[in-house]
Copies of this chain bind each other. A is one copy, B any other.
């Protein structure tokens, strides 16, 4: 039996998720939902350039999609904020439709909105739906991968994760989200207002602490602009020397008065030596490096699609990606 799928949100990640899912022998795409009037009614074959998707449509609402077909599972790649995501996901869960979401704050929903999380969890259980958020970051490099490594540790005293991303190789929306081209002062203002920066760093930290059974005393996050030391021109943005060309974000978790988790993220245009690194202070100590890092966009799309079959075999509820079996390409 194939898994019947729909896509919610047709930005670059959503379209690429559809393309990858369409190539899977276990998947059947039934349609998509987007609120953009320019996309509603269009043919997914045209939008994605995947001939197999010809005849599948973009609908303006869940109600309209359901009038045509009911998916088993929806890929949700529309928003970063938890409130927005819950408003979009709860109606799906009420229909018994499971959801794999890229919403960063949904990775560990109890952190910001314990009541909203409990409510969505109850809706899922009542209607036999499963909801989980994943991606490459949050969802893998700075949380699931370090958690997985601790599986061979007798003791863990502290975990330090660094991720350096060369944003010049990433999609346009991401190049803008990291503040490219802004005066540094403006980036800082937007970051403080929660309107610029990488979403989900605190969630990664909270998920790590949760999996290790640690009760965080504080989870603090700082963010600053990285300032261009030369003019930079990408496919999507132009940045002059002295303007913001990306961000440096840092989260730390204190447990019993000690800093036991640090997550350090640098995403900026032309960043040299991109890589992901995890150091575990423990027994045994572990020192992992992914040279070149994990390519963000391709990996996020893969994480979303690969999660679908695993999610449908799990118990109903609002789940954490670490509740599911070991990830694999499927």
Complex: chain B residue closest to A292, CB-CB: B287
In Å, the complex CA distance between A258 and B136 comes to: 30
Query: For window 292-330 of chain A, which residues contact chain B by CB distance below 8 Å?
Result: 292, 294-295, 298-303, 305-307, 321-330
Expressed in whole angstroms, the minimum distance between the Cβ of A317 and any Cβ of chain B is 13
Kindly state whether residue A148 has any CB partner on chain B within 8 Å.
yes
Contact call A140/B154, Cβ cutoff below 8 A: no
Expressed in whole angstroms, the minimum distance between the Cβ of A325 and any Cβ of chain B is 6
The prevalent SS among residues of A at the interface is mixed
On chain A, which size bracket covers the interface?
A: 35 or more
Q: With A294-B284, A302-B154, A303-B152 known to touch, is A322 a contact of B322 (CB < 8 Å)?
A: no
In Å, the complex CA distance between A283 and B16 comes to: 13
Contact call B150/A328, Cβ cutoff below 8 A: yes
Query: For window 121-177 of chain A, which residues contact chain B by CB distance below 8 Å?
Result: 136, 140, 144-145, 147-148, 150-156
Contact call B289/A288, Cβ cutoff below 8 A: yes
Contact call B148/A328, Cβ cutoff below 8 A: yes
Interface residues of A (CB under 8 A from B): 20, 136, 140, 144-145, 147-148, 150-156, 211-213, 282-292, 294-295, 298-303, 305-307, 321-330
